[in-house]
Amino acid sequence: MVRILCVANQKGGVGKTTTAINLAAGLARSGSRTLLIDLDPQCNASSGLGIAPAPRHPLILRQPIHESVIPAKIPNLELLPGSRSFQDVDALARSDESQADLLRQHLLRELEGYDFVLIDCPPSLGTLTQTALSASTEVLMPIQCEYFAMEGLTQMIQVIRGVMQRFPGRLEFGGIVLTMYEAALELTHEVDAEVRDFFGEIVLGTVVPRDVAVAEAPSHASSVLDYAPRSRGARAYIELCMEVLERE
């Protein structure tokens, strides 16, 4: 059965897209057939893999996904590119419940044959994120190791629980992953302790360090696993990939 991971956080700048790209790359390198879906109108998941955004979003056009995906440079990894079209962004953001349900059903019908599907969501709690959650089996939340790390997480979890109630038995917490981790800072350890104390076992053991290689990799249209395979960031994302695989 395909595992569909919704990578989501209502806050921007927390490493959401970076995590989606590098986790997808790691899963693909493990031999799993992997699809990365770019639902963020900024299209950073597309450009971060060196793939141009689509003129129109394939999901809005209800195109068969297998006709719309683009192979990435990494074996076993395909991308469904995002779109910066104002028309599509508006249509996706303003979808009513019936349209959101059609989008969800279209996604679910088209994902057979993959081992993993990762959905990179926009930094919001809007209809688009909720639709992605309803089509997913797990939600992965990256949070930054800074003072406002837990700000808004309560709302995010309320939205997730609302989706769980609408579609019982489908969506579960895949985990919270701490990003931009600076072990030398006392604040980092305070945030780490607070998050783990509050959320317990759903916080993943792997932490992603602040690493210039992780920041540089997208400018080379590459995952950090390919750009700097011996870097601390690459090692962290390999460990995250292994942890996700072990949680199956």
The pLDDT of residue 236 is above 90:
yes
CB atoms within 10 A of CB 233: 25
Per-residue buried b or exposed e for 20-31, using 16+ beta carbons within 10 Å of the residue's own CB: bbbbbbbbbbbe
pLDDT tens track for 158-187: 899 999 998 888 899 999 999 999 999 999
The pLDDT of residue 50 is above 80:
yes
Angle at 62 between CA 23 and CA 83, to 5 degrees: 55
* Residue in the block written with tokens 């489908």: 170
The pLDDT of residue 61 is above 90:
no
Task: Name the nearest CA neighbour of 79 among 45, 103, 55, 104.
Answer: 45
On whether the CB atoms of residues 180 and 210 are closer than 8 A, the answer is: yes
pLDDT score of 99: 62
Query: What is the rounded average pLDDT of the residues 38-49?
Result: 94
pLDDT score of 248: 72
Mean of the per-residue pLDDT values of the chain: 90
The pLDDT of residue 138 is above 80:
yes
The pLDDT of residue 95 is above 60:
no
Domains observed in the chain: 3-246 (3.40.50.300)
The pLDDT of residue 90 is above 80:
no
The pLDDT of residue 131 is above 90:
no
Specify the amino acid at residue 94.
R
Task: For residue 140, list its beta bridge partners.
Answer: 7, 175
Query: What is the rounded average pLDDT of the residues 72-94?
Result: 82
pLDDT score of 92: 63
d(CA 76, CA 34): 6
pLDDT score of 93: 61
Which carries the bigger pLDDT value, residue 86 or residue 18? 18
- Mode of pairing for the β-strands spanning 70-71 and 77-80: antiparallel
pLDDT tens track for 195-222: 999 889 999 999 999 999 999 999 999 9
d(CA 94, CA 106): 17
Q: Long-range contacts made by residues 157-164, C-beta under 8 angstroms, separation at least 24? A: 159/125, 159/129, 159/130, 159/133, 160/133, 162/130, 163/130, 163/133, 163/134
